Amino acid sequence: QVTLRESGPALVKPTQTLTLTCTFSGFSLTTSGMCVSWIRQPPGKALEWVARVDWDGDKYYNASLKARLTISKDTSKYQVVLTMTNMDPEDTATYYCARNIIAPSDGDFVGYFDYWGPGTRVTVSS
Amino acid sequence: QSVLTQPPSASATPGQRVTISCSGTSSSIGRNTVNWFQQLPGTAPKLLIFKNNQRPSGVPDRFSGSKSGTSASLAISGLQSEDEADYYCAAWDDSLKGWVFGGGTKLTVL
């Protein structure tokens, strides 16, 4: 049974650094084809992909946020950590982590998000 | 502004068929498969369609997806009240080297 759960502060001040942790179970990030992405959703707005880390260590970032982001994995803890620096009120959103499963042996390096965490709400305010 | 374009709203009566469009670019939908998600109020998105037209286990066959060129569509037949939700399309963009989402379509069952 695959599960993911996000954790982190509910409130951060502008200019601070946000650290979010995705703790997952039911799969390993050492298995070929397993990836985890972060996706966020501002209140009342659309989904926005933030970052992805793959089983082989490859990392991808939203180009508009890349300078502020770091994604990392701790395979022994079954965790993926996202840090975002210089937080702004426009970063207020629900942050989701999701498993992104791909099939590199079939030439599929994109895949799809099959399992999502419930999300964690982050408010940026002084 | 989202990279993939969806109509902001759609509506139909119970039992009817509704389609939701998703328009992309040559580097996104034109080169990669499309996924669709359903988001009920206050909940996380749920995978509805993957790889253009594949349904995960448990998703009713009332939901179907298709893709042609740089556009994709989600069709829902036999509309039910519980289908009232927000629907999002998503695809990988080779130029941006990242996932892009549509702006979402709010489906109302009249």
Cα separation, B46 vs B12, in Å, equals 21
B79: phi then psi, degrees, rounded to nearest 5: -50, 135
Our measurement of the distance from residue B21's CA atom to the centroid of its chain's CA atoms, rounded to an integer in Å, reads 7
A-chain residues near B97 (CB < 8 A): 60, 63
The 10s digit of each residue's pLDDT in A98-122 is 999 998 888 888 899 999 999 999 9
**Contact (CB, 8 A) for A122 and A91:** yes
pLDDT band at B107; cut points 50, 70, 90: very high
State how far the Cα of A71 lies from the Cα of B54, in Å rounded to an integer: 30
Nearest CA in chain B to A95: B44
Of the candidates B47, B51, B100, the beta carbon closest to that of A49 is on B100
Interval B35-51: pLDDT, tens: 999 999 999 999 999 99
User: Taking a C-beta distance cutoff of 8 angstroms, is the pair B104, B78 a contact?
Assistant: no
> DSSP class of residue B7?
-
pLDDT tens per residue, range A53-78: 999 999 999 999 999 999 999 999 99
Q: Which tokens sit at A54? A: 């793959």
What's residue A79's pLDDT? 98
Cβ contact, residue pair A110, B33, below 8 Å: yes
Token pair, residue B98, equals 């990242």
Place of tokens 């999002």: B88
Q: Is pLDDT of B2 > 90? A: no
DSSP A119: -
Interface contact flag, A49 B102, Cβ < 8 Å: no
Please answer whether residues B47 and A100 qualify as being in contact, where contact means their C-beta atoms are separated by less than 8 angstroms.
no
Mean pLDDT of B77-81: 97
Q: Is the pLDDT of residue B1 over 80?
A: no
